[in-house]
Chains A and B, each alone.
Chain A
Amino acid sequence: MSDLRDLYQDVILEHSKAPRNYRELVAANHKAEGYNPLCGDRFTVYLDMEGDSIRDISFQGSGCAISKASASMMTQIVKGKTKAEAEQLFDRFHKLVTGHAPANGEAELGKLAVFSGVSEFPVRVKCATLAWHTLHAALEGKQEAISTE
């Protein structure tokens, strides 16, 4: 069971049962949908961007405990961050769950370090990163919107 508890840490289970920022964001000026066709997980990430920073963020959708907890904790950590900061977190998070994190990498990720156990379950990496990929798409979408204005 030790391996399983590495993956299903209490914090993760708690977030999956009671996800934070789980709602449609009425004030959203950008959103993106993320879909994992392999397992049917589907999330929408809503962003309220003020200039380059994330004033508010929320998500909705369905997925496994890992993907839902990851989405929930992501919304908490990126709120108030700039686009560049959020992208940097995604990069670090991705390295963490794929087992490529630098020795001191977990400190920078704060609470997200609970996802380190995912690296022992390679087939679950996509679950953990689905919300982040969706956030990335939403952030990119904003850039495109700016470029057309």
Chain B
Amino acid sequence: MAPRITEGVTLRVNGAAVTMPTGASVAAAVLAAGVTRFRRSVLGEPRAALCGMGICFECRVTIGGRAHERSCQIVCAEGMDVRTDD
């Protein structure tokens, strides 16, 4: 059995605190926070992570004020401020 994970990283997704295992991706954190819409497409449709490997750009979110960050390629860091599109 895998040991229970006691350490973790706490970050904010749209203002809500989420604790993830160390090494988890921001995309995983967004989904763990119950957020299904990562961004709005050009015509305003809800979009979320698709390829999981950083090539589709659908998982883009704003991290610490920086826009267009591909959340599936970024590891969660303590205190990160993640925002998805409204």
> A and B: partners?
no
Binding site for A on B (CB under 8 A): none
Binding site for B on A (CB under 8 A): none
